[in-house]
Each structure stands twice: as C-alpha cells, then as structure tokens.
Copies of this chain bind each other. A is one copy, B any other.
Amino acid sequence: MHTIRKYQAPDWPSVWPILHSTFLTGDTYSFDPESTEADIHKAWIELPAATFVACSDNGSILGTYFIKPNQPGLGAHVCNCGYVVTPEAQGQGIASSLCEHSQAEAVSMGFRSMQFNLVVSTNERAVRLWQKLGFSIVGQLTGAFRHQRLGFVDALVMFKQLTP
C-alpha cells in the first residue's frame, strides 16, 4: 500500500538520493549524470508547478513526480511531468499510480493535455506503461538521447489529451 501526497521541504533528503541514482545511470532522463544536488532541486522542486511523493505505510518515500506547463503562454495548457520510482519499489505499480495521480492533478490544475518530450526509446517498460495509461507516440526524434551505455538512441514524444 502507498499514498501520494504533496512534496514538502523535509522530504528532500529522501528524494534527492532517488533522483541522483536514477539520473546517474543516464538511461532514462536527459539530466546530466553529473548534475549537482542544487541543479536537480531546481529542476524537480523549484521550477515545476507542483511536486508529489508516493509514500509507503511506514512513511518512506517510494517515488516522486513533478508537473509543470510544457511551454509558456499559448502552449501552457499542455503539461509535462517526470516520474521516478526507487529501485526497491519497482514492479509494485508505483509509476502507474503516480502517472494516474498526475493526470487527475493536471485536470484539476486546468491542463488539457500531457506531453512527454523525450521518452528514451530503449526504455521499453516506460513506453509500454505510458501507452497502457492512454498516451500515444506522436513523434520520433532520431538519435536525440545520448544513452550512457548505448550511445545515441531515438527518443519518443508521447501525448495524451486529458479533456475533450
């Protein structure tokens, strides 16, 4: 069992190691693997419109996501989210739960659609999960991701309309 709630400042010492170890592998997110704690705090906490965490029954943090407008002004009705789940909590449906939560949150914040700009094509588990949750592959970017093990691989643009 887990619950999803708004991120609070005292969560950072638990959230940062999850983000740090995820980005360090350089196979799913474009953040520089050498990003500093301050860089990532800015990107995950300060710049987004909101950040959430998934917590286990004992309060430990299992995952996190942010939500923000994907573009300024006339593109700001489309949101963008990023999700990370701890390695220990993989396979328990946390990513799915975070994404569903973010979609409801997006609608309540007034967003009409959700867009992922750079889904790494070799991250097949993520691609399948987003498709299962209603996202379509609407674009393919040749060699747009510099995978730390595989070199340049394609990235996908995925999109879901949340309101008619």
Within 8 Å by CB of A75, from B43, B78, B155, lies B155
A29 touches B (CB below 8 Å): yes
B118 A144 Cβ-Cβ under 8 A: no
- Scan A19-35; emit 1 where CB is below 8 A from any B CB, else 0: 00000001001111111
B-side contacts of A71, CB under 8 Å: 30, 117-118, 144
Closest residue of chain B to A69, judged by CB? B30
Closest to A27 in B: B74
**A145: interface (CB < 8 Å):** yes
> What is the minimal beta-carbon distance from A99 to any residue of chain B, in angstroms?
19
Q: Which of B34, B75, B112, B138 contacts A139 (CB 8 A)?
A: B138
B144 touching A78 by the CB < 8 A rule?
yes
Instruction: Give the shortest distance, in Å, between A2 (CB) and chain B (any CB).
Output: 29
Contacts of A92 in B (CB 8 A): none
Interface range on chain A (Cβ under 8 Å from partner): 35 or more
A14 at the interface (CB under 8 A from B): no
In the complex with contacts A117-B117, A157-B157, A31-B72 CB distance below 8 A: yes
* Closest residue of B by beta carbon distance from A28: B74
> What 0/1 readout, one digit per residue, does chain A (57-89) give for beta carbons within 8 Å of chain B?
000000000000001111111100000000000
Cα distance A31–B76 in the bound complex, in angstroms: 9
CA distance A42 to B47 in the complex (A): 16
